[in-house]
Amino acid sequence: MANQSTVTEFLLMGFSDDRDVQMLYFVMFLCIYLMAFVGNFLIMTSVALNHQLHTPMYFFLVNLSLSDVCYITTTIPKSMATSLTDNRLISFAGCVAQVFLVFTFAGSELSLLTIMAYDRYVAICHPLQYGLIMNWGACIQMATASWIANLIHASLQTAVTFRLNFCASNIIGQYFCDVPKLQKISCTDTKINQILILAIGITVDSLCSGFIFVSYGYIFSAVLRIPSAEGRYKAFSTCTPHLTVFSLFITTAVFSYTRPKALSSTTMDLLSAVLYTVLPPVLNPIIYSFRNKDIQEAVWKIPKKINYPTLFSTFPHHFPNPKYSF
């Protein structure tokens, strides 16, 4: 990257220049980060320790929780360090790494939610074939494909972004290395970059969102045909957390990147970025824990099983059929 010879570091935007306010932001972000980390860690641990939760739904939930922890870790610790030390500098290499990781984990969030929608579709619409379709090998392949595809996409977007020359301002108008803000301070024509991001974003978001909505169309149609009210409730209760998490993620992301210019300002840009980088990792474990009794019970059992010899090597080689009594 030849542009390293012109710009060797960037200056991130802070939330405030007032020292007392900076410390307040540090405490707030620390609490938020701990909430996200502990919440997602509890989900991963409870699933690993509870054999009854070794099913595809919870396997993908563990992947989602891992992605959430990594996603929020990519941006918040650096922002906390900025508030604590009042040092807003980030190295060129650090900015490259941040862009790569944000693309990776934001993409994995969307792809995993799409896979989870397919899992719910198979479980409710084809329960007799569930164990055959959603076997251990298929789940591993889907999760692996999701991570690999997002790593490739992140590598492409990072390479395209940092092919730009940064020879004038090095001040990024965001609390992390956000690609649109990097494009604004580049002294290179960014039309190709903007078109690429827009084309990929619209294509991927449309395909994933369309797949999820179609899946839930079939799911709701099947649920409404269930004769018992209890069966309908059980089916809806397994889908509600996932649909809520997806709606939260896609709404905050779309608002951040498509809001009108009238709503664009320094403060609004900072707040909108917090919406899609911080809010989903914090609220996802809360939503799943609040709506899922199995997770709640498994979390309370963690102290009794904390000496369990292995955590993540206990998944079976095949998954049982989902326990629905429709």
The pLDDT value given to residue 311: 47
The pLDDT value given to residue 74: 94
pTM: 0.83
Among 2, 260, 216, smallest CA distance to 113 is for 216
The pLDDT value given to residue 154: 93
Q: Which of 58-67, 69-78, 263-272 has the lowest mean pLDDT?
A: 263-272
pLDDT digits (tens, 9 = 90+) for 224-280: 887 877 777 777 777 777 788 888 888 877 777 666 666 667 777 788 788 888 888
Three-state secondary structure readout of 57-103: HHHHHHHHHHHHHHHHHHHHHHHHHHHHHCCCEEEHHHHHHHHHHHH
Q: Is the sign of the CA dihedral 304, 309, 312, 316 positive or negative?
A: negative
Q: Can you tell me the mean pLDDT for 179-203?
A: 84
The pLDDT value given to residue 306: 61
- Say yes or no to pLDDT of 5 above 50: no
Structure tokens, 214: 């179609």
Q: Given pLDDT bands bounded at 50, 70 and 90, which one contains residue 15?
A: confident
Contacts of 188 (CB under 8 A, 6+ apart): 163, 164, 165
Round to whole Å and give the CA distance between 53 and 86: 45
The pLDDT value given to residue 318: 53
Structural domains of the chain in order of their starting residue, each with its CATH number? 7-305 (1.20.1070.10)
- Say yes or no to pLDDT of 7 above 80: no
State the Cα angle at 241 between 237 and 242, rounded to 5°: 115
Round to whole Å and give the CA distance between 37 and 73: 9
The pLDDT value given to residue 261: 65
- Say yes or no to pLDDT of 71 above 90: yes
Among 138, 122, 118, 139, smallest CA distance to 130 is for 122
Mean pLDDT (the chain, rounded): 83
The pLDDT value given to residue 66: 94
Helices (H), the chain: 19-49, 56-85, 92-125, 130-133, 136-161, 179-184, 191-224, 229-258, 266-277, 279-291, 293-300, 302-305
The pLDDT value given to residue 262: 65
The pLDDT value given to residue 103: 93
The pLDDT value given to residue 235: 73
- Say yes or no to pLDDT of 70 above 70: yes
Q: Can you tell me the mean pLDDT for 141-164?
A: 92
The pLDDT value given to residue 276: 82
